[in-house]
Amino acid sequence: MYAVIETGGKQYRVQEGDIIDVELLGSDQNVAFDKVLFLHDGNAPKVGLPHLPECTVQAELVGEVKGPKVIAYKYKRRKNYRRTVGHRQRYSRIKITKIAAG
């Protein structure tokens, strides 16, 4: 059984036991995703328009991680102006515990 959920403006394909990194969530240990776009239970797929109202995906928060460093570089020619800025986005690492088809 797998599902496609939406969180943080992105879509993720998840199964029970998967560990994924999503946009930063609150500090709750247990998280429920109710924006389920697609569900396949092995027999017949269910497609939401846009969401499936009776389906939820339960997950537990494993921790917070940082993504890769992104370098931004500013430069103006002939003016001796150069600036380098780095950024690392923070993510919540979650583990999918249950997919409830309702």
Q: Is the pLDDT of residue 58 over 80?
A: yes
Per-residue pLDDT at 27: 74
| Single pTM value for the model | 0.83
Q: Report the C-alpha dihedral over residues 42, 45, 38, 57, rounded to 10 degrees.
A: -40
Mean pLDDT of the chain: 93
Q: Is the pLDDT of residue 73 over 90?
A: yes
Residues 6+ apart with CB under 8 A from 59: 30, 31, 32, 33, 94, 95, 96, 97
* pLDDT band of 28, cuts 50, 70, 90: confident
Q: Report the C-alpha dihedral over residues 30, 36, 41, 47, rounded to 10 degrees.
A: 170
Share of the chain above pLDDT 90, in %: 81
Asked if 51 contacts 3 with a C-beta cutoff of 8 angstroms, the reply is: no
Q: Report how far residue 48's alpha carbon sits from residue 34's, in angstroms, rounded to the nearest whole number.
A: 12
